[in-house]
Amino acid sequence: MKEFTHKAKTLVEALPYIKEFYGKTIVVKYGGSVGDEDLANFARDVVLMKYVGMHPVIVHGGGPQIGNHLKKLGIETDFIAGLRVTDEQTMEVAEMVLVGKINQKIIEAIHSMGGKAVGTSGKEGKMILAKKLDLKKFAKENGLKVPKGADLGMVGEVDSVNPDLIKVLENSGFIPVIAPIGFDEEGRTFNINADHVAGKIAGALNAVKLILLTNVTGIMDNKKNLISTLTEIEAKKLIKKEIISSGMIPKVMCAIEALHEGVQKVHIIDGTVDHALILEIFTDSGIGTEILI
């Protein structure tokens, strides 16, 4: 009987969150570092969110998968400031992996859990108008050094987001699954960092939450203890002290940008934890790190 009572208490604990987020949009970035073995749990959580009246929107990455596919094809990859140099051949592979493979895997997983998903990229419905990434600006913002005259090729950043297609899908009962590909006014295709895309889409949708799934617990302090809540000012201090460093810096900067564009909270959580989304959204304690203005 105690076991059943515990389950009942868990459901009761979830009730105020279901009420609070009913009808609201929550953007989730599914990182390429989250393994395929975690996809079923992720899909189950997303379908549950939809069935209780929330509007989950999925943006996915795929850096490791793109790297593996390039290796299989014998295509060498160079990196500048942690970003993959992307020529036309690499862009073709990236688009194939992101749109043709990862996107479809996520859709299949959601369908297998009883949900309805539609896959798209930023090209459809002119969702993402992109431009070539300003490498010097990116390096300066993230405390990185780049060689003089360095060029990333077809690596872009979001210029603007048209959320109309996403809203149509949401209101029709579908879960949008978006690959981080966009193009500019001249029709040139760009591969864009998925965290950046997720943040921009969350802002355009006035999302109540942006959740970044990764393969780490969250943001840690200098003693390797999890920081559960962090403000923008505190985050920038930790970056200056190099406590927040490496690949976590772009995630934090993306989070801060999303908050300034109207997102209420951003969460960085470990997507390899069973039912990470459920624990973050439906429980009092949550997991990972939440970032606020």
Domains of the chain (ranges plus CATH)? 21-292 (3.40.1160.10)
Tokens encoding 153? 């090729």
pLDDT digits (tens, 9 = 90+) for 131-185: 999 988 888 877 777 888 889 999 999 999 999 999 999 999 999 999 999 999 9
| Closest by Cα among 135, 133, 130 to 189 | 130
> Per residue in 199-258, pLDDT tens?
999 999 999 999 999 888 899 988 889 999 999 999 988 988 888 887 788 888 889 999
Question: Could you tell me the two tokens for 173?
Answer: 């009962």
Q: What is the pLDDT of residues 68-92, one digit of tens each?
A: 999 999 998 888 888 899 999 999 9
Render the burial of 224-263: b for 16+ CB within 10 Å, e for the rest.
Answer: eeebeebeeeebeebbeeebbeeebbbbbbbbbbbbebeb
> Which pLDDT band, with edges at 50, 70 and 90, does 35 fall under?
low
Q: Are strands 83-84 and 79-80 parallel, antiparallel or unpaired?
A: antiparallel
Q: Are strands 181-183 and 189-192 parallel, antiparallel or unpaired?
A: antiparallel
pLDDT classification of 264: cutoffs 50, 70, 90? very high
pLDDT at res. 204: 96
Q: How confident is the model at residue 12 (pLDDT cuts 50, 70, 90)?
A: confident
- pTM for the full model? 0.92
Span between the terminal Cα atoms of the chain, in Å: 44
Tens digit of pLDDT for each residue in 88-100? 999 999 999 999 9
